[in-house]
Structure 1
Amino acid sequence: MIQQIDASGKPSRQQTFGVAFVGSGSAQLKTVLSNDQLAAVVDTSDEWIATRTGIRQRHIAGPDESVRSLGAQAAAAAIAQANLAPADIDLILLATSTPDDLFGSACQIQHEIGASRAVAFDITAACSGFVFALVTAAQFIRTGAYKNVVVIGADVLSRLTDWRDRRTCVLFGDGAGAMVMQRCEESDRLLSFEMHSDGSLNDCLNATYQHESTPLADEVTTQKGGFVPITMNGREVYRFAVKRVPEVLEKALFHAGLSTSDIDWLILHQANQRILDAVAQRLGIPAERVVSNMAKHGNTDAASIPIAIDEWVRAGKIKPGDTLALSGFGAGLSWGAAILKWGQ
């Protein structure tokens, strides 16, 4: 076990375990919506979308696909890559803003993959969700409560997209990715993390619940309504991201005792290529070390970081021992970063 050091610099009585990252997976969606196809729906073009966002296409969940099915597919692939069985999993955390069931979809995924021993619950933090869920999972592992944890990011944003609004509909896609985290007694591969929220900026990006009052009995009224499509102030979100993301990454690197030169791969939430380029430039990280797959996936919310990790792992680009700098940012507004080493 890893020994904790207290404020005086002496070993504390409490001992904790380390965290290892041992498997990745992602879902393979059937339907692709290209920019040219989207141009037949709203007044836009492939050139307009690509030059402003870096997106060429996105995947759309079909009638037989859901957060449950996509999340289960990604989780099963990650578990298999980790050489584990579903029965080995102790905890499943699902980061999503679009659950199939408003009471949560993690339990549905738990049943779908046959992880009968696992406790499962959802976390909602939008585009920061996967990083927040990863950090949450690490706390259960470090205390020794659980050994094998699956963290999933899955969203079907097509449910919340206004396909008549060309400012937002060009951005979003559906997808799911997953990672297996495992208890480790010899080292801790989650080197550091940093998380923040600012609810005063909530109006910049949201999908709010709107209702009307409905009389029920005497002077009692109830609310009846639903969630409206995503609205976004793109200019303010861009300003927020290019300022806060480099800051949170620099803080996380400082906590880890590392510098930007130690990063093998910068993996940001895939929101907009311009944001990725601006963050990398500010941090002095060369383009060849910045992971970008938004050209074929678009913005998949909580799914974007784990999908990117899985694609780079399976392509042999991310190797055991590589240092990854992750950052999620978006609605809330919220933002966070995690520095980790891939593998056991």
Structure 2
Amino acid sequence: MALSTLHNVRFAGMASCVPRRILDNLLDCPPQLRSERERLVRNIGIRNRRICHEWQCFSDLAFDAANRLLEDLGWQRNEIDALIVISQSPDYPMPSTAIILQDRLGLPQTAIAFDVNLGCSGYPFGLHLLGSMISASGIKKGLILVGDKCASVQDPLFSDAGTATALEFDSQAEPMHFNLNSDGSGHRAIMLPVGGHREPFSAEHLIPTKDENGFKHWPNALHLDGPAVLSFSTQKVPPAVVQLIDYAGIKKSDIDYFIFHQANRMINETIRKKLDLSTEKTPTTLHDFGNTSGASLPITITAQLRESLMNSNSKLLLSGFGIGLSWGSCILNTDKSTVFSELVIS
């Protein structure tokens, strides 16, 4: 069932980490592409992006975010019962990145640790997954590490980030409500077609082609069907949000902030207008951080809402959507004791 409610789960805290290196979509491009990039920046709303150093992995960013969050929470590492990593940027094809981070973070061997292969929709799915484990079993405290290493110098859309979120058992916690959906018939809209068992990597995938601007494109690069993604996002997300609000038995005005995956300005503005939401209730980080995949919800909360949330009790609606195709939303509550760490620069 797409709609569900979790009880006895408290949203304890969040930390986000981005690389130090910044790419400017206007300045860090060939001069002959400047006018095209100016138009693109106006349309997609992304000026600056964060990109990892060559030696950095997503797991390095997630590691720094998790360390900061555990320190700010005051949690002991031997208290952590579960570690879930949600990313499409693993350190290795095997073993799972979560297993490696369990050791790096000094978590106990009794901690459950595993990976989930989800992208832009991953954050609400991760909250539901860990929340279900806490609500239904003896797990008391757990971490979700979400993000990706997906930035490149040529692509003006994507940015690198890693985040950490802490959930804990609390019999007095307000319920969390979820609406999670999947549509595999659209899996080709966002796809990395080469490198798996269906099409193994071979020497021919090393031969690029050049476009009219002289940029090289490799057969094993990410395939993104822009019109299909636009149609999917703007048609599926608004009704799913309305359905979740109705299911939770609240009104739209009861939500303090609506935080959407930071896809691009055109998609996000269409969703906002379809739901008749004010810009004050829909914070954005597209201009300064770009599309950070599954990390975009916590990045937006950390960068735009941290001070506000630390000083009030708030009801948030979070909505992620993208590769799969998949889309998921959740409604959760934060209070003045919820920890929102300062943005970590790595």
TM-score, with structure 2 as normaliser: 0.84
CA 1:38–1:319 in structure 2 vs 1: closer, same or farther (change >3 Å)?
same
**AA in 1 matched with 2:10:** A
Shift of 1:138: 0.8
Higher-strand-fraction structure:
1
The yes-or-no answer on 1:84 pairing with 2:75 is: yes
Between the aligned partners of 2:142 and 2:65, the Cα distance in structure 1 is 14
Between the aligned partners of 1:260 and 1:65, the Cα distance in structure 2 is 41
SS of equivalent residue, structure 1 residue 154: strand
Between the aligned partners of 1:22 and 1:110, the Cα distance in structure 2 is 20
The yes-or-no answer on 1:267 pairing with 2:259 is: yes
**In the alignment, which of 124, 137, 144 is matched to residue 137 of structure 2?**
144
Shift of 1:243: 1.1
Between the aligned partners of 1:239 and 1:247, the Cα distance in structure 2 is 13
The yes-or-no answer on 1:129 pairing with 2:122 is: yes
CA 1:319–1:268 in structure 2 vs 1: closer, same or farther (change >3 Å)?
farther
SS of equivalent residue, structure 1 residue 27: strand
**In the alignment, which of 277, 285, 296 is matched to residue 293 of structure 1?**
285
Q: Which position in structure 1 is the counterpart of 2:242?
A: 250
1:91–1:120 Cα contact (<8 Å) kept: yes
- Poorly superposed stretches of 4+, deviation over 6 Å: none
**Farther off after superposition, 110-119 or 66-75:** 110-119
CA 1:272–1:212 in structure 2 vs 1: closer, same or farther (change >3 Å)?
closer
Between the aligned partners of 2:251 and 2:61, the Cα distance in structure 1 is 36
SS of equivalent residue, structure 2 residue 173: coil
Q: Which position in structure 1 is the counterpart of 2:212?
A: none
Q: Which position in structure 1 is the counterpart of 2:298?
A: 306
Shift of 1:212: 9.9
Between the aligned partners of 2:197 and 2:280, the Cα distance in structure 1 is 51
Structure 1, gaps ≥5 residues long? 1-15, 214-221
The yes-or-no answer on 1:181 pairing with 2:167 is: yes
CA 1:114–1:262 in structure 2 vs 1: closer, same or farther (change >3 Å)?
same
1:17–1:143 Cα contact (<8 Å) kept: no
CA 1:41–1:269 in structure 2 vs 1: closer, same or farther (change >3 Å)?
farther
Identity value in percent: 27
What is the correspondence of 1:308-323 to structure 2 with a 5 Å cutoff? 308-317=300-309, 319-323=311-315
Specify which structure has the bigger relative contact order, considering alpha-carbon pairs within 8 angstroms and separated by 6 or more residues: 2
**In the alignment, which of 18, 32, 37 is matched to residue 8 of structure 2?**
18
**AA in 2 matched with 1:182:** E
1:59–1:173 Cα contact (<8 Å) kept: yes
Q: Which position in structure 1 is the counterpart of 2:333?
A: 341
**In the alignment, which of 47, 50, 54 is matched to residue 59 of structure 1?**
50
Between the aligned partners of 1:132 and 1:278, the Cα distance in structure 2 is 23
Shift of 1:304: 1.0
Shift of 1:42: 7.9
CA 1:276–1:145 in structure 2 vs 1: closer, same or farther (change >3 Å)?
same
Shift of 1:34: 0.6
Q: Considering only aligned residues, what root-mean-square deviation do their CA atoms show, in Å?
A: 2.3
Shift of 1:178: 1.6
Q: Which position in structure 2 is the counterpart of 1:115?
A: 107
SS of equivalent residue, structure 2 residue 65: helix
